[in-house]
């Protein structure tokens, strides 16, 4: 999909110096990802600058705001957004360990489902002094941390939390243009920025956009005073103009490999999460960043990350080497090169917490589809309108539950990830569907969060390794 960079009109009262008309402009269009390319417009303006953490534990919870919404509709709407999503684009402060080598502090916040029509996991964190709490999509497929900022007027979407107002925070500062974390530093090309220079951005996604100024602020992680940790000087996007495409959230927290992500800015080294089941509307699970992020046990498997291309936005993704897929004891006849990452940055497979449905290169998807269809004795039905999914079966009203199916195994380099039937099939509205979709051969495939449910996953960024084990995430 070709999209055009959109420059929103932005009014920011905390940026003021009307006599300064020095402007630098840089337009950057990313390479095409699996969904849609991202247009990033950054420009410099003059502004008056406003004036040892530990492991960070962020509670994840998945809550339906409307339990009556059928799972099939949630998948359909999440799939719609998946097909038009972007990812953004590499410092960081080290998370300090306690004297005994453990985490000096652990903190918790909540992550929930972005219902009524979504498939992302939201974490809750606080920004500013005094802290203002807001929910944001947890996304390993992008870098930028951003939230809506007051004043927004009619150019912002409605959000469930109060708007953060930088003018009311004693710790807000505009991020200098020559900061290593500034999106405008490239536009300066080594030149000294003018006095009071600030970097404003406009990121356009396939179905939406957000625009604002880069700031620096204190973030608070944790739901109670006993487990809270405050981290100062976090670079983030302060948006006061956005489209209405972020249901249930007030922004996004990038957990990718780039310098702007929360992982990189905290110097976390490693992080882990365990995503509660898609249809679990009450349980909480946990995102941990830093030294205490770990998994152990006989069931843990590990696979190395594939080196990411240097070019944005691919440089931010966590690539894995998927070598094959089995259904039950049957190894599907998929070419070993189906998921290879090419020298030009095309192809490959990434793991992404911000995408719901797994997408596979079409040649591989058709093998999976055929194998599932051959094992299911129910009549096939067109569920595309109700679910957005390609392979669905009609569930007789008298059937209490879908039929038994074998597990599906994703064969990664050195490690097998076993998916129970509830992690690759989904039922609702009288249909039972394969919760995967096809991707154009040569495009990037994605391991989505539906297939990651009830899986404890550890990203060891320093060791360049992903580890995982089946788990009951609601109990962790």
What does the alpha-carbon distance between residue 198 and residue 174 come to, in Å, rounded to a whole number? Answer: 6
Tokens 């569907």 map to which residue?
A: 433
Determine the Cα–Cα distance for residues 334 and 2; give it in Å rounded to an integer: 31
Using CA atoms, how far residue 117 sits from 84, 359, 366, 433, 452, in Å, is 15, 19, 28, 18, 19
Q: CA 327, 329, 330, 334: dihedral to nearest 10 degrees?
A: 70
Distance between CA atoms of residues 164 and 308, nearest Å: 34
**3-state SS record for 8-20:** CCCCCCCCCCCCC
User: Strands 251-254, 132-139: parallel, antiparallel or unpaired by DSSP?
Assistant: parallel
Catalytic: which of 77, 82, 114, 352? 352
Contact 416, 242 (CB under 8 A): no
112 neighbors 62 (Cβ within 8 angstroms): yes
- CA 349/CA 148 separation, integer angstroms: 31
Active site residue 280: no
- Whether 265 and 254 have beta carbons less than 8 Å apart is answered as no
Q: Could you tell me the strand order of the sheet in which 392-394 lies?
A: 380-381, 392-394, 431-434, 425-428
Does the active-site annotation cover 352? Answer: yes
Cα 288-351-327 angle, rounded to 5 deg: 120
Catalytic residue among 139, 143, 280, 460: 139
Q: What are residue 200's DSSP bridge partners? A: 43, 213
Catalytic residues: 139, 352
């Amino acid at each position: 999909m070709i999209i055009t960079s959109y420059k929103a009109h932005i009014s920011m009262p905390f940026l003021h110096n009307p006599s300064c008309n020095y402007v630098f402009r840089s337009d950057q269009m990313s390479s095409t990802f699996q969904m849609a390319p991202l247009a990033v417009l950054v420009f410099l303006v003059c502004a008056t600058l406003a004036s040892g953490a530990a492991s960070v534990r962020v509670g994840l919870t998945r809550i339906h705001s409307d339990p009556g919404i059928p799972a099939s509709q949630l998948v359909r709407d999440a799939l719609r957004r998946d097909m038009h999503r972007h990812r953004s684009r590499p410092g960081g402060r080290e998370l300090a360990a306690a004297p005994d080598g453990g985490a000096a502090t652990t903190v918790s916040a909540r992550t929930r489902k972005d219902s009524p029509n979504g498939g992302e996991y939201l974490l809750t964190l606080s920004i500013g002094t005094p802290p203002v709490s807001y929910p944001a999509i947890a996304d390993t497929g992008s870098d930028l941390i951003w939230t809506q900022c007051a004043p927004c007027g009619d150019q912002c979407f409605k959000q469930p939390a109060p708007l953060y107002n930088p003018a009311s925070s004693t710790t807000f500062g505009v991020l200098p243009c020559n900061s290593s974390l500034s999106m405008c530093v490239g536009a300066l090309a080594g030149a000294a920025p003018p006095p009071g220079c600030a970097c404003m951005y406009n990121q356009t996604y396939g179905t939406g956009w957000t625009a604002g100024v880069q700031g620096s602020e204190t973030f608070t992680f944790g739901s109670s005073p006993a487990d809270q940790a405050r981290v100062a000087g976090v670079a983030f996007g302060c948006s006061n103009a956005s489209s209405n495409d972020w249901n249930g959230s007030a922004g996004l927290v990038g957990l990718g490999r780039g310098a702007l992500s929360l992982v990189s800015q905290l110097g976390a080294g490693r992080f882990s999460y365990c995503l509660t089941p898609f249809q679990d509307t009450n349980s909480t699970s946990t995102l941990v960043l830093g030294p205490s992020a770990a998994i152990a046990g006989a069931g843990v498997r590990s696979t190395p990350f594939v080196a990411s291309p240097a070019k944005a936005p691919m440089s931010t993704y966590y690539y894995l080497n998927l070598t094959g897929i089995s259904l039950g004891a049957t190894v599907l006849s998929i070419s070993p090169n189906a998921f290879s990452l090419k020298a030009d940055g095309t192809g490959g497979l990434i793991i992404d917490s911000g995408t719901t449905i797994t997408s596979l290169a079409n040649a591989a998807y058709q093998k999976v589809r055929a194998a599932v269809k051959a094992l299911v004795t129910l009549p096939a039905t067109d569920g595309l309108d109700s679910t957005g999914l390609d392979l669905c079966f009609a569930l007789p009203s008298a059937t209490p539950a879908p039929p038994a199916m074998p597990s599906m195994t994703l064969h990664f380099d050195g490690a097998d990830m076993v998916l129970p039937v509830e992690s690759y099939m989904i039922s609702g509205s009288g249909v039972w569907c394969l919760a995967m979709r096809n991707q154009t051969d040569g495009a990037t495939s994605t391991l989505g969060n539906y297939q990651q449910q009830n899986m404890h996953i550890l990203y060891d960024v320093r060791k360049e390794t992903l580890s995982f084990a089946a788990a009951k995430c609601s109990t962790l």
